[in-house]
Structure 1
Amino acid sequence: MTTPDQLAATEPEVFPPTLREVMLRPRWIALLLLCLVIAGVFAWLGQWQLSRSIDTNPPPPGATEIVRPLAEVAGPGEYLPEPLVGQRVTAEGTWVSDDFLVVASRFNDGAPGYWVTGQLRLADTEEPTSIAVALGWAATPEDAQDAITELAQDAADTPVEVTGRLISDEGPALPPDDGDPFTMTRMSSAALLGQWSDIAGLAVYRPYIAAEVATAGLVDIASPAPAEGSGINWLNIFYAAEWAIFAGFAFYIWYRLARDQWEKELEDIEDAAAGAS
């Protein structure tokens, strides 16, 4: 009769696999190749972000202080690129006498007040084209309305030339809950367009001009030169670092899955040995 000890002696001894042996199996090698492809895509995206993080052709120092024609800097409907924000420009046209409007919550050297704005209908354009202009600052709404009255009287088909800084649109905002529903607190070409007259077929610039010299008894708008940029986009560098982390994480996932499989096989062997004993 065969004893249990003799039966156990006849069974082949099972050797647990090593982690290296598990990783070299065809299944895990195929998964590693997939991870290499994914990591390669992430590395390419990181390289692309890194190439966009450094401006190899930055504008020369003081470029924003050179007065340029508006049409050379931007076109109707276009967003203003970052290097051109604050660029001094000149534009010629006529004021639309019914479209002088007030924008509240405007600070001038720290003092709260109001901007008087106008629709400048540009000259020498193939289609009707306008740009919003902030003409000057007033301390009270009454002063702003007095300036609008004077501007409207002098605006009739009188050619003007405006010089000022080209500033990005601030976007519209809801009026105060307890105020006039037409009150504007942001310098937004879209919001102004909603209150302008004679806008059929009109092309409009997204940015606006902050005039250097105020008119109609208004105060000049404080608009200092923009700070010189470093030519390095740190946000893009951060994105490039993120893609590098993602590429490394793909390999970590592969390693973690292979290790989990190895540990599971060790547990199965231990459980089988414990059941046989």
Structure 2
Amino acid sequence: MNGAGLAAVRVVLAPRLLLLHLLALVAVGAAVGLGLWQLDAWQTRRDAEAADLADARALPLQQVMGPDAPYPADAIGRPVELAGEWVPEATFYVSGRRLEERTGFWAVTPLAVCGTDCAKAPAMLVVRGWTPDPAAPPPRGRVDLTGWLQPPEGSGRQDPDPADDVLVELRVADAIQRVDQDLYGAYVIQRTAEPAAGGTGTSPGTSTGADASLEPVTPDSLPEPETFTALRNLLYALEWWVFAAFALFVWWRWVRDELHAARAPGSAEVPSST
């Protein structure tokens, strides 16, 4: 490397520019990573549209996902079995839920997934059924439950009154403020529920185990996803990558300007190569 090249390297690696290089590296790396995350979300939604697991054999919840695990992309609508104890004081309702031609609420109660010690066991949000009014009595006691596993909602809709027991979406981030234990990153639509052996039972139910005051919810009655939901994830990915390219461009311009300044007449930092 000639003298001009060595001088240029000294300018680029000057201590006052090290912070610039570090910021550029962090910005580009973060933007690329977030773009890949959005691309994965886009692919997951596309794959989910082609998967129909509603009639598959129910698997134990522990075989499908753990309490601290991210939602498995291949498990949307998967029937699961779980057992535990209801957390009745954390019951809440989700508004704007359609059932045939009617609009009402989902009744949601966390179920502590546990054997004997349930006080600090992680809980799964359970959609117990549909109701026209947010007043269904919560269940109590231990239960063996089967239902369809679903990813949490989160389109960013604002809740006009976060302090009441009615939510606009079934978001884990909102529900976790209502319980003392951790929550699974998912929810279950109840299909059947029977009192566990030796338990104290649940609220009165129909032949399917649902509360008599509630009408059953099935995957077919879930809200239709927005047409451009998956496309939006893809566009977000592209936006992050454009930001990464912009950050790289700003870094390059800054370094180029420093080199030009060092080569300016009267500067001895980078001698001219001519």
TM-score, structure 2 length as denominator?
A: 0.55
| Alpha-carbon contact 2:107-2:127 (below 8 Å) kept | yes
Give the 5 Å matches for 1:232-243.
235-243=236-244
Q: Which residue of 2 aligns with 1:139?
A: 132
- Does 1:219 find its partner at 2:203? no
Query: In the TM superposition, what is the alpha-carbon distance from 1:116 to its structure 2 partner?
Result: 1.8
TM-aligned CA distance change 1:242 to 1:174, over 3 Å: closer
1:90 to 76, 80, 89: 80
Query: In the TM superposition, what is the alpha-carbon distance from 1:223 to its structure 2 partner?
Result: 1.9
| Alpha-carbon contact 1:102-1:114 (below 8 Å) kept | no
In structure 2, how many angstroms separate the alpha carbons of the residues matched to 1:139 and 1:245?
51
- Does 1:246 find its partner at 2:272? no
Q: Give RMSD over aligned pairs.
A: 5.1
Q: Which residue of 2 aligns with 1:15?
A: none
2:64 to 44, 69, 73: 73
In structure 2, how many angstroms separate the alpha carbons of the residues matched to 1:193 and 1:261?
57
What does the per-residue CA deviation read over 1:81-136, in whole Å, with 9 as the maximum and x for residues that have no partner?
37257342323325538447341523215843222222334354776533221111
Query: In the TM superposition, what is the alpha-carbon distance from 1:41 to its structure 2 partner?
Result: 4.9
In structure 2, how many angstroms separate the alpha carbons of the residues matched to 1:97 and 1:260?
68
- Does 1:113 find its partner at 2:93? no
1:161 to 145, 154, 157: 145
In structure 2, how many angstroms separate the alpha carbons of the residues matched to 1:104 and 1:29?
61
In structure 2, give the amino acid aligned to 1:45: G
In structure 1, give the amino acid aligned to 2:113: L
| Alpha-carbon contact 1:95-1:118 (below 8 Å) kept | no
What does the per-residue CA deviation read over 1:174-206, in whole Å, with 9 as the maximum and x for residues that have no partner?
7739xxx5433253557656666xx6xx55434
Range moving further from structure 2, 26-35 or 244-253: 26-35
In structure 2, give the amino acid aligned to 1:220: P
Structure 1: runs of 5 or more not aligned: 1-22, 266-277
In structure 2, how many angstroms separate the alpha carbons of the residues matched to 1:241 and 1:192?
35
User: Secondary structure, in 3 states, of the residue corresponding to 2:70?
Assistant: coil
TM-aligned CA distance change 1:223 to 1:165, over 3 Å: farther
| Alpha-carbon contact 1:91-1:122 (below 8 Å) kept | no
Q: Which residue of 2 aligns with 1:176?
A: 161
In structure 2, give the amino acid aligned to 1:223: L
Structure 2: runs of 5 or more not aligned: 193-209, 267-274
In structure 2, how many angstroms separate the alpha carbons of the residues matched to 1:47 and 1:258?
27
TM-aligned CA distance change 1:47 to 1:25, over 3 Å: same
TM-aligned CA distance change 1:246 to 1:113, over 3 Å: same
In structure 2, how many angstroms separate the alpha carbons of the residues matched to 1:52 and 1:107?
33
| Fraction of identical pairs, as percent | 14
TM-aligned CA distance change 1:257 to 1:75, over 3 Å: same
TM-aligned CA distance change 1:211 to 1:247, over 3 Å: same
In structure 2, how many angstroms separate the alpha carbons of the residues matched to 1:92 and 1:98?
17
| Alpha-carbon contact 1:46-1:241 (below 8 Å) kept | no
In structure 2, how many angstroms separate the alpha carbons of the residues matched to 1:264 and 1:240?
38
User: Secondary structure, in 3 states, of the residue corresponding to 1:205?
Assistant: strand
User: Secondary structure, in 3 states, of the residue corresponding to 1:80?
Assistant: coil
